[in-house]
Each structure stands twice: as structure tokens, then as C-alpha cells.
């Protein structure tokens, strides 16, 4: 396993992060989920990402159980706040001082720890003044309940504003957690340049594009049984944008690139995002331990420039690059 600094901070995290977004507490039974976490630890992964909203808090509980007994100082645990949890009352979502203060307490209880390493704003809250939100995060840091603060899917303008307030309040905004893959490159135009300037790293999710970049989905063929594209609990919806023959045909052509590097398709996809020097870590998920074991081999891989150029050539215009997609995909208002 290789390690990288998170933003302009002294914290190092593993190049591969284990995340439990669509699995723990919903799609995968607890025993299987715990086995995946054990596989991650065995593979050298020390960084784990979750959120209070995942499986309506159940994912945090499962992760806490899976990590119980591990040396806390040897782990980096990241969680998030914003989306509705619990009974979904008027203050059960967003980034108000009330919701942030109460949510960190719930997350720590479920995770079985007295602090998280990175506490992240899961989205930007248009219904709360940014000053209130950043003051709430400053208080969480000063109380020792979080060591660092990050955001997720914020625009370049929002990151700049949040970073400036954090500095005024005496803490660091160290990371942004966006979707990023060889197919989804919307952060490259604005978010990455701003983040480089400010000393903010990307903690990227969905590096294999919800499984499409594994090559298991073939053009003109039914999705494999049990795959995400057949899942009615959220997986099918998330993957639908890529389930077009023109995309699947281009992805199949990446097999030659993977073969030249002696990588599997999923390893190529994860290694590809790690070539971006503003990316600190790639989040992988798994429903089976062997998936963790395979994908972790992407750590430390160097893809030569000529093969990076070939990936661009192969995928061509099916790649989404519009930087405006970050704002367009954001919640229009505080969810309830």
C-alpha cells in the first residue's frame, strides 16, 4: 500500500480507501460486510469512509463493529453529515449548527470511537449561511471530535469560500469528495485547479463508474445476474447513465490497455484516477472480500503517458467533462 498526504496537512491516508456506501447495512449482510473490512485491513488499507445517511445510519454501525479491536491510532476514519437521517424532521438534515453538533455525536456513537479523522460536509447547504456551517465545524474540531474537515461535491467557488472561512476560524479544509473516473471527469476543469491552489485533495468515489469500467457489462447483452445494474435498492438507478451501448463498446476497447499493464479492468480504472496528483485516495466498495483484494493492487501503479493518452482516445466523446455538472447535480434545497 502507498500513502499520500491529505491536502496541505500532515495527515497521510492510504491510496485506496474502503467505503461502504451502497453495501453495508443494505445490500450486504453484516458477516459479509465485516469480511470485506477484514480483507481491506489485510491488504494494507488504513482509511475507511462512510456517512450517517448510508443505510440510514446502519452503515456506520456495521463499520464500527468491523473495526472494533483495531488500534485506533492506525486507522483514518472519515464520515459525513448533510442528508436526512432518523425520522427526517425539519432539523434532521443540512449543515445547520444544530444538525452538525447532533450528527457528530451520533456518528461517534455508532462508529465506537471518540473522534473521526475527517468530518465531511456531504453536500453544500443552500439553506444555511456558510458562516454558520463553518463555525459549527470549527467547534467540532476544537472539541477534538474531528481532526480535519472536508467537503463533498462542492463547486470550485464553494470550496474557495469554505476554505477562506476555515482559515479565519483557525482550522483546515483539507479535502473534497467528488465522483471521478475515466468516464466522469467534471472536476478537472475547475474543482481540481482551485483545490491545487488551496491545498485541498480529492477523495474520489466511484472510480470504476459503478462497475461499468470493469468491463462486465457488454453492449447488447443483459446485465449479469446479481450485478449493480440489476439492483432495485439504488444500484440500477446510479449506473443507468452508463448503460448505453456506445459507452459499453468504448469500455470494452480498454481491455488492450489493461493487458499491456498486466492489470484487470477494475485495477486499470482505479489506477487511472490515482495518476491525478490532486487525488489523495480512491474509494472502493465491495460486496465480497476478493473484490477488495483485486482492486487494492492498483496502489502504486504508474501508467505511462502514452497509455493515459490511449485511454482518452478510446473513450472519446462518451466522457462527461462539463464542469457545470457538479452544480447541476447538487440538491436544489435542503432534502427532507
Q: Give the DSSP H/E element, type plus range, for residue 183.
A: none
Q: What are phi and psi of 233, to 5 degrees?
A: -95, 15
Asked whether 270 and 282 are in contact (CB, 8 A), the reply is yes
Give the active site residue among 18, 54, 82, 180.
54
Q: What are phi and psi of 81, to 5 degrees?
A: -140, 140
The residues that bridge with 173 in the sheet, in sequence order, are 149
- Cell numbers linked to 48: 475507511
Of 243, 191, 201, 197, the closest CA to residue 221 belongs to 243
How would DSSP label each residue in 59-100?
HHHHHHHHHTTS-GGG-EEEEEE-S--TT--TTSSSS-HHHH
Q: Is 54 a catalytic residue?
A: yes
Asked whether 88 and 137 are in contact (CB, 8 A), the reply is no
Label residue 329 exposed, middle or buried (CB < 10 Å: 0-12, 13-18, 19+): exposed
User: What distances in angstroms separate CA 104 from CA 6, 17, 145, 148, 181, one per listed residue?
Assistant: 21, 21, 7, 13, 30
Q: Which active-site residues does the annotation give?
A: 54
Amino acid at each position: 500500500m502507498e500513502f499520500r498526504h491529505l491536502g496541505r496537512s500532515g495527515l497521510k491516508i492510504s491510496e485506496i480507501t474502503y467505503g461502504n456506501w451502497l453495501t453495508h447495512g443494505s445490500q450486504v449482510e453484516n458477516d459479509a460486510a465485516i469480511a470485506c473490512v477484514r480483507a481491506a485491513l489485510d491488504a494494507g488499507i488504513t482509511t475507511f469512509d462512510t456517512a450517517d445517511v448510508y443505510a440510514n445510519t446502519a452503515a456506520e454501525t456495521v463499520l464500527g463493529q468491523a473495526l472494533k479491536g483495531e488500534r485506533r491510532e492506525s486507522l483514518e476514519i472519515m464520515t459525513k453529515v448533510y442528508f436526512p437521517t432518523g425520522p427526517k424532521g425539519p432539523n434532521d438534515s443540512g449543515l445547520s449548527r444544530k444538525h452538525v453538533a447532533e450528527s457528530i455525536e451520533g456518528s461517534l456513537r455508532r462508529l465506537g470511537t471518540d473522534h473521526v479523522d475527517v468530518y465531511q460536509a456531504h453536500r453544500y447547504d443552500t439553506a444555511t449561511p456558510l458562516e454558520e456551517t463553518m463555525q459549527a465545524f470549527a467547534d467540532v474540531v476544537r472539541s477534538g471530535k474531528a481532526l480535519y474537515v472536508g467537503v463533498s461535491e462542492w463547486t470550485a467557488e464553494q470550496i474557495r469560500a469554505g476554505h477562506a472561512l476555515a482559515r479565519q476560524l483557525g482550522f483546515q479544509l483539507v479535502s473534497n469528495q467528488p465522483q471521478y473516473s475515466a468516464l466522469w471527469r467534471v472536476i478537472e476543469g475547475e474543482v481540481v485547479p482551485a483545490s491545487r491552489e488551496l491545498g485541498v485533495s480529492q477523495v474520489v468515489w466511484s472510480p470504476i463508474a459503478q462497475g461499468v469500467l470493469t468491463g462486465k457489462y457488454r453492449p447488447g447483452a443483459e446485465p449479469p445476474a446479481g450485478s449493480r445494474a440489476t439492483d432495485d435498492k439504488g444500484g440500477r438507478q446510479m449506473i443507468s447513465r452508463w448503460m448505453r451501448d456506445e459507452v459499453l463498446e468504448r469500455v470494452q476497447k480498454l481491455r488492450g490497455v489493461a493487458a499491456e499493464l498486466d492489470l484487470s479492468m477494475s485495477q486499470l480504472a482505479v489506477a487511472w484516477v490515482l495518476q491525478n496528483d490532486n487525488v489523495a485516495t480512491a474509494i472502493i466498495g465491495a460486496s465480497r472480500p476478493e473484490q477488495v483484494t483485486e482492486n487494492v493492487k492498483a496502489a502504486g501503479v504508474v501508467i505511462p503517458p502514452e497509455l493515459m493518452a490511449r485511454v482518452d482516445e478510446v473513450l472519446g466523446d462518451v466522457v462527461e467533462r462539463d464542469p457545470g455538472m457538479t452544480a447541476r447535480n447538487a440538491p436544489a434545497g435542503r432534502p427532507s
